[in-house]
Structures are given as structure tokens and as C-alpha cells.
Structure 1
């Protein structure tokens, strides 16, 4: 498969090789730990392991109970002088490990870079509008923190920067850190060979242990996988097995993959006949791998089925036939199909979105933005979600009479919420996806009113990271729905409404802060600081002196101040140019009117 990729993507492959040649590879030593024994991974031996050493750490009976996997022994061999990552199976386990390690670390750890750790705590409190996670408040003085999706983006960024600078020496994290962030360490510890309840795949294992070793800093890195006796045979297979093959994703998710690609091909007029579509598909990775497909269907048959499905959904027009003379029949995109690909709407939901927007035209409740928020709450966030029914009822009762009508219009009657909250049996079937979307729209509605992720997360008993992810997803989906509506004349009324809602969801701040938030590098906390210091518009920032900003704004470096001023000047210039173009367009004299020249 590698040879095939080289032949079809020579330029990309050469670029990758040149890029890697810039960096000196760091030796990676792999180990596993069973009980108090460390084994080196050695593929030359029969079982894949060779004895390396015994742990040299005295455990009291209480400490043995608290730390049966000897994580404290493993981390204290490297921290605080060097950095260490501990990968944990779940988010809760990350917090528990960070908290447990700090309970048994010596007081000397608190003295290491004490001032910088104090500044980090102040910064996190500022991000949380005075609030900070109790676990982080306990662990950061020891140079320890956790890292997972329950943190807000600003919290994650601050923790990552502190870790990269050496202020934090130990992070307990989930597997997502391995793939998304470049945070290397001298030692990487895998708390268990599992991600949630699933056993590790080889590519996941390699991705995590690949964090060990920092080019230009360390001559070597090491990974230690903690293994229970019952998993020993599975781990032997894991460390000695080859990497899984990489396959095209087009077939795994037909709506997001194959059919979405086919719709875009026709919509963009890259391929407008069955024959042209077939030719294009043969040049994809899936086309290269078609010999690996099921023997029951060829790539051409799968493509044909995809096109027929798009025609059936009303997204394409044309005829698909196996007859040779019909292979060049022109395919055209319908208005709904164009709206779908222009708005990047998931094909699984495009018809449902159209029906809901159409129904909204019959009686859109505009007393507040709750009804609009329901229509733009992402469909894909409801699948693994379970509402808290007492909170659901409480939030419903706080709505006005007009807002409560929204629930009834979308199909969630008050009686249903009341019975679920009281634990009564429900006879009438109510669509669970609609119920979940309405609950999430309550979260967004509260968030736009309070603009405080921490308080809303607490109110709905959710992690602040989840609330922020919901907000970001809703802002993105609202923009997609806006583009969807722009392509369909019947939805003209939504354009102005969704333009404003997109802006509200994107920034989720008080109205006066939105102009400052448009400047690159200015987030909510910084916008508040700037506004309170008298910089209330983009023009104020564009004319500011970086040195003055540093003096007036707490925790602002000169480099950041220069970037903010530069970004403000660029934004102001772009707005001025746009206005100038609009003026010139208005003053332009038509040449097709008699008597003009």
C-alpha cells in the first residue's frame, strides 16, 4: 500500500521526507510494568519482553492501597526536573490520578517555580471569571494538572503553555492529547492498555508513546505501559503486532463520505455524467484500494447506488442507467442539493432540516431567540446525550408562556417533561432526538443570556468543556444553516435572523464586547480587560501604543500587545476598503441608460 501511495502522490511524499529530515530522531525506549517489575519491549525474544529492573520505591500500606499501580514511583523518577505525561482511560481518571499524586508528593515540589505556578492559578481564575476547578487549585502548586475535553479552550491553552515552559512537569491526560497537541515528555506512562472500555489499537499506542522524547532537548525518551496480569497476553500481541492498514473513509460513513463527495462533484461541475463520476472515483484512494472492497460490489456499482440515493433524496436530477448510451446523461443539482453542499449540511439531516425550517415559517416564535436556537442546535450532538429531567422541568418552568409554546411546536409537550421528571410511565412516544435537541437549546439560550460557561455548566450539571464545545458547534452549524437558507428563496426571512444569531453564538459575550472580539487574539477575558481600560472599539486598539497596553492590561506581554494592535489595524483597514468599494459601487453610473456615456 505504501508503494501505491508513493506512485500516486510523489510530490507529497517527497515533501514529508524532506520535512522529517530537518529533525533529529530521538531514541524511544519502550517498557511495560507488571506489578513492581519493569520489562523492556524486545521483539527478538519469544514473548516480546525482557526483564529490565525492579521499582526502587518504598511503599507504605496506605500508599499501596491508594496507588496500586505505582504511578507515584514512576513519575517521581523524572519530575520535577523532567516532564512526564500519564495517559488515562477516562476523564475522571485523569483528575483522580492528578489529585492522588499530589497528596503524596513531598513539599519540596511546591517550591519549584512557585511564582510562575501562582501566576498560572491567577490566570485560570481570570479565565473562569473568578472560578477555578478545585482539583487544579490543589494540583498546580505541585506542578501537576489534568488535561481533557472537560476543560475550556482557554484553560487547555494555559495549561499547555505552562507545561511547555516547564512550569508544570506532569499532566494526567486522555488519548486525545496524543493526536491533537505537540506536548512531548521525557517519560510517557500509559495508565492502562485501554481507551475508555476499548483495548488499545496499535496506532493509538504508537501515537501516545510517540510523545516521549523531545528533539533537541533529550537524547532519548521512554514509555511505560502499566499492565495487569490478566491483560499480559493481549499486550504481547499489541506491542509486537504491525500497524493497522490505512483505508479510505469514504465507505465507512456513506452520508458524510461517498454521497457528500458525489453531491459536491456534480454541484461544482467537476463531474456531471455517470461516466465522469466513475472516472473521478477511480483516482481516489478508495479507487486505488478497490481490490480490497467487498467482492459483492464493484466501485462502479457503489458509485451508482450513491448517485441513485441522491436522486431519490431530491438532491440531484438525472437518470442513472447501466446502458452504455445513457452513461453520458447529464446530472444536475437541485436547489435543495445546492443548498446542502453550499451549507456543508450532513446529508443524513438535510431533508429533516428543510422540513423543520419549512415548519418554522408557519409560526416562528420571535419573542426570544429560543425557537431559532432549537432550529440551529447541531443534530449530531444529541446521539449520546441524556438530559437531567429535573433540570429540564426547572428550566422549562422558567420560560415565558410564548417560549413554552416552542416546546409544544417542536413536539415536546409539557406533560411529557413533567412525567419524566416525576418518574411516571410515558404512553405517548416522543422523538428522543427532538427532546435532546430542545434540552441543548435550553443550554444555549441560558448561555447567551448569562455569557458565563462556568455558571451554565453548573446549572445544567455538565462539564464546562462540553458546554463550550456545544457553543462552538452551534455557532458553526448556525453559519451552515445560514448558507443553506441563502440558496433557497423561500427561506429569505431566516437570513437576517441567522446572521445576527451566528455572531451572538460565535462570541457569546455582552453586545459591547463583540467589536473587540473581532480582533484576532482577543478572547472574552482580554476583551473585558481592554473595554474596562477604555479601549472600546477597533479604532481605539488600532491607534493604541503596545507599550501602553502592557502597562494597563494585566498579564499582557509586549509580543501579544503588538499582535493585537497589528490585527486591529488590519481589521480596520479591511472594513475601510469594504466601505470604499460599496461607495464606488453606489456611485457607478450605469452605461446601458440612454443619454449616459
Structure 2
């Protein structure tokens, strides 16, 4: 912020309005223009921008545009004086040396012989923008035994501090040094897996490994059976459901979710191929105490520690005395962060948090008195708009407006999906409209709207309202495709503000100049220190920002809790194996089923390597172990043989193979055994019910919808309900406002069956070509939730197929296999071939089929131009645009048609080759 003779200048609404004829605050894509440069070019471009205004409204499907609002001014405090300052010159314009320079250190270059990296690998890093490493990265890599792979590593660094590079280098060294070596990189979210796969494939591009040995004759003999990519480093992502069991021969580096990594390691230990695994990277290791999914990292790491051969374990984002590892911690960030607390319109530096309570409690505090206590540094003026009467919301909008108008990116975190959409709409109404934007920016946002409209779900009305202003939201209610388009548009500068739920903080890498937390709660609960650090860590992007800023907007009633939260240290990480969900049962069942332990002594040896052993009393742990083993025996998962040896039963092995929790496995077994006695085969509902996940999916039953769907069931569907013990009278009573009893174990299990059948109704619609957006409307659920249900069911279905195979139920396995294909395609059996083609799923496949394109060959030989009208028919809305808007829309569909024909050609060639081979 510019300071003149002790007077701070700050933009006011009135000043901006007066200056408007000569200065329009503008967002320029990818550039920051000085205040003096803006007026001239914009005057010349004003006519072009005006001509685009109507087009832009048509492109975004806007009806009557909401009336414009004005964001509150943000006033700096200095001796009680406030004066207007142009928006583009506020504090974010300060030039800050973000990365300290040092004397030349040759070991900061990846070419240094100390790291022994291939020149081709270093060149790839350089091509990706990594010229040198930071001093802390050098110190970490040179820790004892790390580069040689003889020591494990657990290290911590701030988000954006470059911690991933350390793990990448160590993992790649293990794979490059040994032709047979395999590595796993374990991440919590599918989006991170996909992002990391793309990154690693660029890192290892064109790198060739040495032959297995120096015997030239043997190498010549192997050439005829060698795959084209055998010398390459193959990076493969593993997530969701899949019918094909992956083996080490399929990849060199596997990037996995927690669940997939645990499954791969179990299978490799069971078939004795685990010796090929040389490195495992556990990202977000601080999540190990998460009772929902993080405990799987403890299972993975403990099994690896129990192996006889050495696997280098690299744990990121935590500092804990576990894994027999070298530990390293740094607080270095290449882009520094300034942190603030916003309370009742006052902005405080986070460093003064301990004194904020005292200042806030003073009655009649005025700016000069507050400044005397060293507390507020700026004040957000109250708004005259009724929409902004809440001080927290007013602060969010003012802070987002201030940053976006200066050309920087903003992330706003909200506590709910509805809050995200509401904030996005309000922020969009204070940002520059189309007349004030550079034509290239308008073009980017039109392209984004076109991409969203061309999706099978169509264009969301709220996104249509916000995107023209450069604002969007990102939450689990959007489909994967929508979230990807929003994230990419933000990353390339088309969007300036993204409003997200907290899942974005850990789920994808989208840094911002300014991060704003609407409040300190996610849902009803106060966020924890770890989640707060995740969200605040998104501030500041290297290479684009000189500094990062975070603003935590605090409700009046939360002030005391928030101040405590801001000052809190990260909690000590503890094991998640002894919670009320009895995770230790799964740990014990897995090691017995894969024969890693089979006696009291080997079980105890395994327990001594757990994180649990470090954080609990030995007698308490032994009690949990004994109880867990007894429960597993009672449920029929393990047996005690002579000499006190533990052996997994067929059921126990089936539960482990299908990655079920023991309690869920017992429920599935009861359901499947009952179904084997009287399976309803003259309809789809029973098999779809069997395919539906048993885990808590956090989807509430809409009993009115349940009743409506029940009334539409045929005789087969009603017989399934009766067989499962579900009563129409109960559904009717619930639809009229009744409550479902869940006080006893039997009542809880019956409630689980009702919930599962309700989800099976949605699967029925998915398998019968009802589009995701139509199902979302029908069941009053977000589109993304429906899509997630379908993806979860594919994963659960793959597990159920393995469960049936292990139990010897081949016929049931075959039925589930067929419905797995139908669920993935979102179509009936006659469309399964077409659904293998990229972009052709569900309703789109049916439209192609009805238009005569019934085979892969027919689409492979089609002109992409012929497919554009068919793709138009498949769109959920029949909006017809005009002139340039319609042209751009057709261009999007033509590009999609080209991808479709290319995909069909590849599949057709494979089919023809198979026909030749069979002759």
C-alpha cells in the first residue's frame, strides 16, 4: 500500500464512480497492467467489448441479468485518517523478494554427482521448470542413507514449499537403479492421483532403462518377445473399481489411492512378488489418524515394516517418530504468506491474535483507539446493500473484489455447497461486467461456457450466471468433468475467483494470491488446525505471485474459538486402529489372510511396528488385540489350528480380497447367503441391490420419492422388497413423516437394507440410460453425488465380484460382472459395445444407436461432421444459439466428434486384429 506523509490512500465507491470515464478496473488474462496503461487501450476496445455483450449473455444462457452491486471499500488505518487510493495500487502491489538468493552452491543443481541422476531425467525436470533445488531440499536429500535407499524418511514442509520433489527424486532413483524395481506413490484423492500421473509421465518421458544384463546373445533372444514400452518407465494410476487384477508387470510406478495401494500390497505379499517393491511414498501422512480412510496408511506402512526385504518408505507432510525413519522439518516457503483475521469488519494481522479478544471486547472502539492497541490494520466499510448486511459476507465479497480487480487469483472456502454457490453469485455481481473486460478474456470465458454446455449434464444455471464475471464454484455437487473444467479455467486465468468447499484444499493443487475463509466452520464443526493449514497453504503461487495472503473471516460468536485455533499447534498424530470402528480387526484379518502373521508371536511383532504401539499402553493394546482376534473368530473369519496358529477361513479371505471392513463383510455374507436361497432372477432389482455399496454413503432417503418409486415397481421388484424384509406400509408411514427405529442391532440392520434399496433404485435408473442430471432432479440430489454413487458402485461391484469368486459363487460373479459393464456404460446391454467409445455413454449411446450408428465400425468410418447433429440431439437442453455463439458451440461438438471417431478407429483396429488372430 502506498504511503505518503503518514496518509494512506484507499479506493472508495464514490471515487471509483467519479473516475469511471477515464479508468475501468480491468482483469487482464495473464498480465498485470499499470494504472496509467489501462485507460487508452480500453477506450479503443470499448466498442468491440460492447458488441460482445449480447453474445456473452446468449452464450451463458442468462435471462434477466441480476442487478449490479458494489463491494465495500477497504480503508487503511493511520492516525485515524482515510483517503481514497486507486484499486490497482493497494498493498498487493508491493514488490517483495520472495525467494532469498545465496552464494553459488553446486549441490543445489540436480546435475550434481552427489545425486547421481541420469542427465535425461535432469533435463526433463528442467523442461518442467525445475532448474535447481532449494537448500532445504538438498539438506533433506543428503540425510543418512536416503539416496542409497537404506533409510526411511519422514519429513514436513509447508504447502508450496517443494516437498514433492524430494519424494519424486528418491522414488525415481529406486526405479532407475534396478530394472525390476517397482514403486508406489499413495495419495488420498482421485484428483491428486490423476494430476500426479500426468506430472510423472512428463518427468520420465523418453527415459530408457538399461537392459537386464550384459549378455548380448540373451538380449537378442528376448527382442522377439519384448514389448515396445518395456525399456520405458511406465506410470499407471489406480483408483476406483476395476475387474482386471493389476500385477507388477503392468507398471513401474503405481500412483494409487489409499484403498488401491493397500489392495496391491496385500496381493503382492500373498503371491510372494512383494520383493520387487523398492519404494513407497505416503503423501499426506498426517492423515494417518483419520478414522475414515487415513488408517489404511498405518496398515500399509506396518506391513512394509514387517517384510524381510527392505522397502524405502517416504512419508510426507508429517513429523512423527515412526517408521524407523530419518526425520526432517522445514518452514521454508518460496512465496511468503501474510495471515489475517477478519472480525466485524476489522482486519487484524494473525500475529496479534492473542490481543484481538481484548480489543474486540472494548465497547465503542473507534479506528484510532484500535490502532493504539496495535490491532486492526484495515477496516471494511459497512455496505448499503441489503445483500451484504452480514459483516462476514461483506468482508468476503470486498476482499475477493479487491484482489480480482487487480488481476490476481482468489480462492474462497465455504462451509457448504449452498454457501459456495451463494457466495459465487454475490461476488460475480460486484466484479467488472462484459463492457469492462478485454476481448480476449471474454473469449476465454465464452469457451468455458461452451465446454460446460457440451457436457452430457449441460450448463449449470448458477455457473452460467457467475462465469461471465470470472467467478465459479467447486464442490462435490458438480460432476468430475465440471470440476476439471473449472479448475483448468482458473489455472489459465479465465477465472479469477473460485469458491470451494474444504475438499478442494487437499483434493487438488490450485494456489491463489489470496485465500479467504468465509468462516472457521466446515459444516457445523470448527475446522481443525490441520485443515486450516491446508486451506491457508493454498495462498501464493511460485512464479506468479510475490506474496500470498490469507484472511479468516470470523463470526462474532466464534471469536474466542477462532483465536485459539489460529494459535494452536498441530495436534499430535495418533493411531486410528482403536476407535469405536474397530479398525484393528481389519489389520489383524489382513495379516492373517495374506500369511504375514500366523501365530501370537508374529502378530505381536506386527503390532510392535504399528503407530499404535508408540501411543498406547502395552496392556491396553494387548486387550484390543485379544478382543479383535476373538471377534474375528466369532464372525467366522479366522480359525485356530493346532499349535495356536491362526488361519483365515474362505470367508475371511473373501473379505480381504474384496477390501471390505470385517463388519461390512459379515453383513454382505449374510445378505449373499440369503440371496443364494431365493434369488429373484426375472428382473434387475435384486442384482442391483447386491451391487449397491454397504458403506455409509451419506445420502439421506427422500421417503416421498421412495414411495413414488415403490408404487412404480413391477411384480419382480415388489418380490425383491418382500424378500429383503422391506414393507410398503413402513415406506408409506415414513413418507408421511414417521421415523425409522434404530435402537437395536436388528433395527439398525433393517434400516441399512432400506437405505441400500433406495440407492439401488438410483442404480436401476443409471443402468437404464437415465442421464445423471435427470436422476439428480428425480431424487433431489446434486449431480456430482449421483456420479460419485455410480463410481463408488463400480468399485464396490469389483470387490463383490472378487468376493463371489473367492466364495465359489461363479454364477453370481458372472451376473455382477455383466451389470458392472452396464453401470459403467450407463446403458442397456445392446449399447455396451458403443459405450466403449470415448464420450459415448448412456443417452448419447442411445441417440447414436437410434440414428443408425449401431456398431463401432460404423462410427469409425463416419465423417466427424456427420456426428455433430447427433451430438446436438444428445444434449440435455435444446438451446439454439445464433451467429458466432452457435458457431463456437458447433466447433466444440466437432472437436468432440473427432475424438469419438479416433477412439472408434482404435477399437475397430483391435477388433479386426483379433479376428485375424482367430482365423
Q: Is the 8 A contact 2:353 2:566 kept in 1?
A: no
Deviations 1:72-104 (A, max 9, x none): 211111115111011111111111111122233
Q: Is the 8 A contact 2:694 2:756 kept in 1?
A: yes
Distance 1:333 1:204, change over 3 A: same
**CA–CA distance in 2 between the matches of 1:249 and 1:300?**
16
2:608 pairs, out of 282, 285, 290, with: 282
Deviations 1:280-321 (A, max 9, x none): 22123323x1xx2157x34344323222221111111116xx
TM-score by length of 1: 0.82
Partner of 1:594 in structure 2? Answer: none
1:118 pairs, out of 435, 446, 468, with: 446
- Residue range with higher mean Cα deviation, 135-144 or 186-195: 135-144
1:198 pairs, out of 520, 525, 528, with: 525
- Residue range with higher mean Cα deviation, 415-424 or 301-310: 415-424
1:223 aligns with 2:223: no
**CA–CA distance in 2 between the matches of 1:549 and 1:426?**
51
Q: Is the 8 A contact 2:826 2:842 kept in 1?
A: no
Deviation at 1:565, TM superposition (A): 5.3
Deviation at 1:451, TM superposition (A): 3.1
Report the count of equivalent residues.
Answer: 563
Distance 1:46 1:100, change over 3 A: closer
Deviation at 1:33, TM superposition (A): 0.9
* Partner SS state of residue 892, structure 2: coil
1:480 aligns with 2:799: yes
Partner of 1:593 in structure 2? Answer: none
Deviation at 1:329, TM superposition (A): 2.5
Q: Is the 8 A contact 1:89 1:194 kept in 2?
A: yes
* Partner SS state of residue 380, structure 1: coil
Partner of 2:810 in structure 1? Answer: 492
Query: How do 1:431-446 and structure 2 match up within 5 A?
Result: 431-446=750-765
* Partner SS state of residue 454, structure 2: helix
**CA–CA distance in 2 between the matches of 1:302 and 1:578?**
58
Partner of 2:335 in structure 1? Answer: 26
2:649 pairs, out of 295, 319, 334, with: 334
Deviations 1:116-175 (A, max 9, x none): 22222222222244x432211111111111111111111111111111111111111111
Query: How do 1:64-75 and structure 2 match up within 5 A?
Result: 64-65=388-389, 68-75=393-400
Distance 1:540 1:110, change over 3 A: farther
**CA–CA distance in 2 between the matches of 1:566 and 1:95?**
36
Q: Is the 8 A contact 2:857 2:904 kept in 1?
A: no
**CA–CA distance in 1 between the matches of 2:338 and 2:632?**
51
Q: Is the 8 A contact 1:35 1:69 kept in 2?
A: no
Partner of 2:625 in structure 1? Answer: 303
Query: How do 1:306-455 and structure 2 match up within 5 A?
Result: 306-318=628-640, 329-381=644-696, 384-423=698-737, 431-455=750-774
2:386 pairs, out of 38, 52, 62, with: 62
**CA–CA distance in 2 between the matches of 1:455 and 1:444?**
13
Q: Is the 8 A contact 2:410 2:513 kept in 1?
A: yes
**CA–CA distance in 1 between the matches of 2:896 and 2:153?**
34
* Partner SS state of residue 127, structure 1: coil
**CA–CA distance in 2 between the matches of 1:540 and 1:278?**
62
Higher relative contact order (CA 8 A, sep 6+): 2
Deviation at 1:398, TM superposition (A): 1.1
* Partner SS state of residue 337, structure 1: helix
Q: Is the 8 A contact 1:127 1:525 kept in 2?
A: no
Deviation at 1:498, TM superposition (A): 0.6
Partner of 1:587 in structure 2? Answer: none
1:456 aligns with 2:775: yes
* Partner SS state of residue 59, structure 1: coil
Partner of 1:102 in structure 2? Answer: 428
**CA–CA distance in 1 between the matches of 2:864 and 2:541?**
34
1:41 pairs, out of 350, 354, 368, with: 350
Deviation at 1:573, TM superposition (A): 5.9
1:505 aligns with 2:833: no
Q: Is the 8 A contact 1:57 1:73 kept in 2?
A: no
Q: Is the 8 A contact 2:410 2:514 kept in 1?
A: yes
Partner of 2:329 in structure 1? Answer: none
Partner of 2:598 in structure 1? Answer: 272
2:489 pairs, out of 157, 162, 184, with: 162
Q: Structure 1 stretches of 5 or more lacking a match?
A: 320-325, 585-597
**CA–CA distance in 1 between the matches of 2:596 and 2:693?**
30
**CA–CA distance in 2 between the matches of 1:269 and 1:556?**
54
Q: Is the 8 A contact 1:317 1:334 kept in 2?
A: yes
Query: How do 1:81-92 and structure 2 match up within 5 A?
Result: 81-92=407-418
**CA–CA distance in 1 between the matches of 2:638 and 2:681?**
34
Q: Is the 8 A contact 1:164 1:183 kept in 2?
A: yes
Deviation at 1:530, TM superposition (A): 12
Q: Is the 8 A contact 2:382 2:394 kept in 1?
A: no
**CA–CA distance in 2 between the matches of 1:7 and 1:311?**
43
Q: Is the 8 A contact 2:770 2:843 kept in 1?
A: no
**CA–CA distance in 2 between the matches of 1:248 and 1:7?**
27
Deviation at 1:467, TM superposition (A): 1.3
Deviation at 1:538, TM superposition (A): 6.5
Partner of 1:151 in structure 2? Answer: 478
* Partner SS state of residue 78, structure 1: helix
**CA–CA distance in 1 between the matches of 2:737 and 2:554?**
43
Distance 1:199 1:499, change over 3 A: same
Q: Is the 8 A contact 1:547 1:558 kept in 2?
A: no
- Residue range with higher mean Cα deviation, 306-315 or 34-43: 34-43
1:555 aligns with 2:892: yes
Partner of 2:227 in structure 1? Answer: none
RMSD, aligned CA:
4.0
Q: Structure 2 stretches of 5 or more lacking a match?
A: 1-139, 156-161, 170-331, 360-373, 872-889
* Partner SS state of residue 224, structure 1: strand
Q: Is the 8 A contact 1:24 1:216 kept in 2?
A: no
Deviations 1:322-361 (A, max 9, x none): xxxx8x6321111111111111122112122112112112
